[in-house]
């Protein structure tokens, strides 16, 4: 079996990260493809102990800056230990691909559920249950002096027992060279798709910087996404989205009252095109939920509550006598097949390595 040492090719930081987290692809049996994108594929798999896992396969044939982002994500997640964070079980490289293994979240991500099950939005009680867990994770992350920086439905995963947050690619730390910074500064270059969930103070790109309160703003936008059933500011120009946020015009929770109060406004009109008017008319959200979202979407970051304070909001009281398992058990979620969900027919044969195979050592 031919062995090639690739330490130099990926740089010292990449070598260090994946030596810390070594494993072997032959320890896993890939069952099916859950999601297939240009440079990454998500598999459902089982390990040698027959435990279900999710395996993310990412091509290492990328610019160094993107690989460095990936390494930073791995290092950050391995520092953070919380039940509502999608922790990495192991990671390794094989044949110029990076493999990250995670605990399997059988209900998938919230964006997928909005597309295939809750097409007009989650019930309010389910949103409360999800947010309770997400806020618990954010409370911990902020206490550890980090900003997540990418809260949205796509990066919230569900199982019968809990919700977890994933994607720490743009996580930032207040600690630099042993000192704690008061503000963080960052560019919006290369993250255009994420700007719809981004707080206005990030969009300003000025010397004032921003704090962990940008995650709270993203919680507010995500609330609207989960409740309305679609991405905020969908099909609008980035310029319009920027103006709306700078003005302090929050994205609306769409129900009968918001339809009447904001009739004729551009921000309401474009969302009406996304879902049937009769669906909106029949929707009803509690006053607590409206207040919760308004607090999160306050233009002034100092007026937004912290994650820990939001956990005391009356909106979350409805979580006391129920659970995600109880609320979701009536839906046949486990049997949902999305457009990206294909049977991985040749999984067994794919891993039968031959003596002449090249094994990459990192």
Residue 159, Cβ density class (10 Å: 0-12 exposed, 13-18 middle, ≥19 buried): middle
Q: Which of 252-261, 280-289, 299-308 has the lowest mean pLDDT?
A: 252-261
Count the neighbouring beta carbons within 10 Å of the beta carbon of residue 141: 23
Q: Which residue has the higher pLDDT, 360 or 65?
A: 65
Q: Is residue 189 part of a domain?
A: yes
Look at the alpha carbons of 301, 302, 306, 309 in this order and tell me if their dihedral is positive or negative: negative
28 and 154 fall within a common domain: no
The values of phi and psi at residue 172, to 5°, are -125, 150
286 and 147 fall within a common domain: yes
What contacts 53, CB < 8 A, 6 or more positions away? 28, 44, 45, 46, 47, 89, 101, 102, 103, 104
Tell me: the pLDDT tens digits for 53-75?
Answer: 999 999 888 888 788 888 888 88
> Per-residue confidence at 177, pLDDT binned at 50, 70, 90?
confident
- For position 138, which CATH number holds? 1.10.510.10
26: domain range?
Answer: 2-104
Q: Which residue has the higher pLDDT, 37 or 31?
A: 31
Tell me: the pLDDT tens digits for 89-121?
Answer: 888 888 888 899 999 998 999 999 999 999 889
Helices (H) and strands (E) in the chain, counts: 14, 15
128 and 87 fall within a common domain: no
Residue 341, Cβ density class (10 Å: 0-12 exposed, 13-18 middle, ≥19 buried): middle
91 and 156 fall within a common domain: no
Q: Is residue 282 part of a domain?
A: yes
Of the candidates 188, 182, 270, the one whose C-alpha atom is nearest the C-alpha of residue 234 is: 270
Q: Is residue 79 part of a domain?
A: yes
Q: Is residue 361 part of a domain?
A: no
220 and 324 fall within a common domain: yes
> Per-residue confidence at 259, pLDDT binned at 50, 70, 90?
low
**149: Cα within 13 Å, side-chain hemisphere:** 23
Q: Which residue has the higher pLDDT, 175 or 213?
A: 213
| Residue 249 and residue 232 in contact, taking contact as beta carbons nearer than 8 Å | no
Domain count, the chain: 2
pLDDT over 70 at 42, yes or no = yes
- For position 22, which CATH number holds? 3.30.200.20
77 and 206 fall within a common domain: no
Q: Is residue 70 part of a domain?
A: yes
115 and 84 fall within a common domain: no
Q: Pseudo-torsion of CA 272, 273, 275, 278, nearest 10°?
A: 60
38 and 146 fall within a common domain: no
| Residue 42 and residue 30 in contact, taking contact as beta carbons nearer than 8 Å | no
98 and 238 fall within a common domain: no
In whole angstroms, what is the distance from residue 99 CA to residue 290 CA? 41
Of the candidates 317, 157, 307, the one whose C-alpha atom is nearest the C-alpha of residue 217 is: 307
């Amino acid at each position: 079996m031919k062995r090639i040492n690739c330490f130099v090719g990926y740089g010292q930081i990449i070598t260090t990260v994946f030596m810390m987290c070594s494993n072997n692809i032959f320890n896993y049996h890939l069952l099916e493809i859950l999601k297939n994108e240009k440079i990454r594929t998500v598999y459902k798999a089982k390990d040698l102990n027959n435990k279900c896992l999710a395996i993310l396969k990412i091509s290492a044939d990328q610019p160094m800056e993107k690989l460095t982002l990936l390494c930073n994500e791995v290092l950050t997640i391995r520092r953070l230990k919380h039940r509502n964070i999608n922790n990495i079980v192991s990671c390794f490289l094989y044949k110029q691909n990076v493999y990250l293994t995670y605990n399997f979240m059988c209900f998938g991500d919230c964006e997928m559920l909005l597309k295939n099950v809750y097409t007009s939005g989650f019930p309010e009680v389910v949103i409360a249950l999800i947010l309770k867990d997400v806020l618990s994770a954010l409370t911990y992350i902020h206490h550890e002096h980090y900003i997540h920086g990418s809260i949205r439905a796509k990066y919230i995963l569900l199982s019968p027992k809990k919700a977890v947050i994933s994607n720490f690619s743009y996580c930032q730390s207040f600690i630099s060279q042993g000192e704690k910074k008061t503000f963080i500064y960052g560019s919006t270059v290369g993250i255009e798709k994420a700007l719809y969930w981004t707080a206005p103070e990030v969009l300003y790109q000025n010397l004032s910087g921003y704090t962990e309160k940008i995650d709270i703003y993203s919680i507010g936008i995500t609330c609207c996404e989960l409740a309305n059933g679609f991405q905020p500011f969908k099909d609008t120009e980035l310029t319009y989205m920027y103006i709306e946020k700078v003005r302090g015009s929050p994205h609306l929770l769409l129900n009968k009252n918001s339809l009447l109060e904001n009739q004729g406004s551009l921000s309401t009109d474009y969302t009406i095109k996304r879902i049937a008017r009769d669906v909106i008319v029949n929707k009803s959200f509690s006053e607590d939920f409206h207040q919760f979202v308004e607090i999160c979407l306050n233009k002034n970051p100092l007026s937004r509550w912290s994650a820990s304070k939001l956990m005391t909001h009356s909106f979350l009281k409805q979580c006391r006598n129920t659970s995600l398992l109880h609320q979701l058990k009536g839906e046949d979620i486990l049997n949902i097949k999305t457009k990206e969900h294909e049977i991985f027919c040749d999984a067994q044969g794919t891993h039968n390595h031959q003596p002449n195979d090249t094994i990459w050592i990192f």
